[in-house]
Amino acid sequence: MPIQGFIFDLDGVITDTAEYHYRAWKRLADELGIPFTREENEALRGIPRRESLLLMLKGRSYPEDVLTELMERKNGYYLEFIREISPRDLLPGARELLQEIRAAGLKIALGSASKNAREVIERLGITDLFDAIADGYSVTRQKPAPDLFLHAARLLDLPPTACVVVEDAAAGVEAALAGGFYVVGIGPQERVGRAHLVIPSLSGIRLQDICRRLEQ
């Protein structure tokens, strides 16, 4: 089936909010007296907030109401930091590819586990380039379950076999493969190597190149 739509992850694909997440988790970890490094933050890439918190806590046990408060506190810190985001924070090639897909008449959805995805793309100035948004509020089961991408495809009224998912996290690649999507992985082979097509970034990437290489 010809490619008719694209579903983009947000963090690490369209913009890089990893630094803001790191600063927020680091601030929370410092308050709790838990060591937390940039390398440990990388392991949280593409992981929902609650699971990320449990990984950051490294086995420490807290009542559920405290876990909820900690998640809200971390998110508050993150929201403080992302107020700095603007269109200049788009990753190289992201706007150009989105515009090219739009001009070709194909559909575009956002597929991000972030519950702040709408605010981020508004601050990036690209809301008008998306036909649909699937975010952390859209489904119960997050990546690596395929539910988020399947929901995004339904919003576009397209089958998974007609959609390309663009991801930078291993959990996202696994989710897309499980859902029956074409997958473009952005990043190192050891992280996204199971994708159908692996590229270092969107810089210089053209729509026709993606379609040709995926449909070979």
How many other CB atoms are there within 10 angstroms of residue 167's CB atom?
Answer: 30
CA pair distance 160, 68, nearest whole angstrom: 34
Scanning the chain, the segments in alpha helix (DSSP H) are: 18-32, 38-42, 49-57, 64-82, 94-103, 117-124, 147-156, 170-179, 189-192, 207-214
Helix/strand/coil for 108: strand
User: Is position 9 annotated as part of the catalytic site?
Assistant: yes
Q: Report CA torsion sign: 179, 182, 184, 190.
A: positive
Strand partners, 11: 15
Closest among 61, 57, 68 to 32, alpha carbons compared: 57
Instruction: Enter the tokens of residue 193.
Output: 């190597």
128 is catalytic: no
The Cα–Cα gap between 111 and 53 comes to 21
- C-alpha 118/C-alpha 124 separation (Å) is 10
> Which is catalytic among the residues 9, 89, 157, 209?
9
* Residues annotated as catalytic (active site), given as ranges: 9, 11
